[in-house]
Amino acid sequence: MSVLRIGLDFDNTIASYDELFLRLATREGLLAPDFAGDKRAVRDAVRVGAGDGAWQLLQGRAYGREIAGAKLYDGVIPFLETACAAEHELFVVSHKTQFGHGDDVDLRHAALDWMETVGLFDAGRTGLSRDRVFFGATRDEKLARIGALGLGIFVDDLPEVLLEPTFPSATERWLFDPGGRHVDTSRLRPFQSWAALRDALAGTRVHG
């Protein structure tokens, strides 16, 4: 079996912000204290009630100085261990500007520090290290990086990223969709958990 090169998105694929956004939005009075919902529900309600500017500020905070409140999705580490044990090569490719709105925190450093804290860079186990994490300032830069790395598989929570016309045609499009929200996935392989992603990876036959 030959080696696969596997790329992973970061925000909302490895890191879950559902609880963090809810907590920040209610704490800052942007939503009622009893509001309930995931990141998408919080986003929609904040935009309607307080405007897109308020949502942008909240994002800058969540991805920056408050990132410690993000959660590692269940099953990420076992997936990495399985991939690493099979000697596949792992990368993180993220669309992330260096700075957010209204804050001077370096969002890329914050993300890297968070990855370190949750144990992603235990390289002997996870196959990941800082030099395998790539940030692009735009979606186009991210897609160009996926192509340049020659990835066989890319995992992302956004169908619109995987379905971009410039997405590399040789890369398999694996959709991480924990809510089972996306209906039309005919050109994607959808997965509702990292356990399912791991099973698929373990069952993937590599030719070449």
Q: By CB under 5 A, name the binding residues for Mg ion.
A: 9, 11-13, 157
139 Rama class: left (phi>0) / alpha (psi -120 to 50) / beta: alpha
Shorter beta-carbon distance to Mg ion: residue 9 or 66: 9
Tokens standing for residue 126: 């996870």
Shorter beta-carbon distance to Mg ion: residue 161 or 201: 161
Tokens standing for residue 140: 């186009």
Tokens standing for residue 47: 């935009």
Q: How far is the CB of 39 from Mg ion (least distance, A)?
A: 10
Shorter beta-carbon distance to Mg ion: residue 12 or 16: 12
Q: How far is the CB of 13 from Mg ion (least distance, A)?
A: 5
Nearest 10 degrees: CA dihedral of 17, 22, 28, 29?
A: 160
Task: Please say whether the beta carbons of 75 and 197 come within 8 A.
Answer: yes
Shorter beta-carbon distance to Mg ion: residue 12 or 126: 12
Angle between helices 194-202 and 76-85 (to 10 degrees): 10
Q: How far is the CB of 96 from Mg ion (least distance, A)?
A: 10
Between the CA of residue 199 and those of 33, 72, 191, 207, what are the distances in Å? 39, 19, 10, 18
Give CA–CA dist 189/173, Å, rounded: 6
Shorter beta-carbon distance to Mg ion: residue 9 or 177: 9
